[in-house]
Amino acid sequence: MKASTKIAAALTGVFALSGCLFSGNDGAQNISVAESFEGGVNPYLWRASLDTLNTLPLTTADPVGGIINYDWKSFPDAQNERIRATVYILDSRLRADGVKVSVFRQVQDNGQWTDAPVDLATSVQLENAILTRARVLKSSELS
């Protein structure tokens, strides 16, 4: 199986689960994102980043600096491969260039993990998913 196919399969789970977040509000938490956020970055991009990549284990989150680090995770479809991500919130405004995602990939060969290339479109797809979620969050508070 090609490396780009494997990473796409692994991230399908991330996108599938994040897609569930776009449907309605279960009413369990009615706190406004903007009201509950104290930091120097856009609160919608921040919350959307956490929501979109919620299947990856969270390592560190710095709302003032705008950096979210996720740890390595392997998916059932690709056990000899793992990914991790870092999200950078770059602006206090909700803008298309206000979020950057770096995705890292490793493959296992003879028990040793080695770095492997990541399809450049992967980061862009994650950034777009975060932006879409952020817009949904913002619009839900406006209605």
Task: Sketch the domain layout of the chain as residue ranges.
Answer: 3-142
pLDDT in tens, 20-65: 443 344 443 444 444 444 557 999 999 999 999 999 999 999 999 9
Q: In whole angstroms, what is the distance from residue 129 CA to residue 45 CA?
A: 10
**pLDDT, position 143:** 66
**pLDDT, position 38:** 52
Q: Is 111 left (phi over 0), alpha (psi -120 to 50) or beta?
A: left
Percent over 90 (pLDDT), the chain: 66
**pLDDT, position 82:** 97
pTM for this model (two decimals): 0.74
pLDDT at position 142 over 90: no
**pLDDT, position 112:** 96
Sorted by sequence, the CB contacts under 8 Å of residue 15 that are 6+ apart come out as 125, 129
Residue burial 53-84, b: 16+ Cβ < 10 Å; e: rest: bebbeeeebeeeebebbbeebebeebeebbbb
Evaluate whether 98 touches 90 at the Cβ level (below 8 Å): yes
- Beta pairing class for 67-70 and 58-62: antiparallel
Which whole-number Å values give the CA distances from 138 to 79, 90, 96, in the listed order? 37, 18, 14
- Show the tokens assigned to 44: 């919608």
DSSP per-residue codes, 27-88 = SS----HHHH--SSS-HHHHHHHHHHTTTSPEEEEETTTTEEEE--EEETTEEEEEEEEEEE
pLDDT at position 8 over 70: no
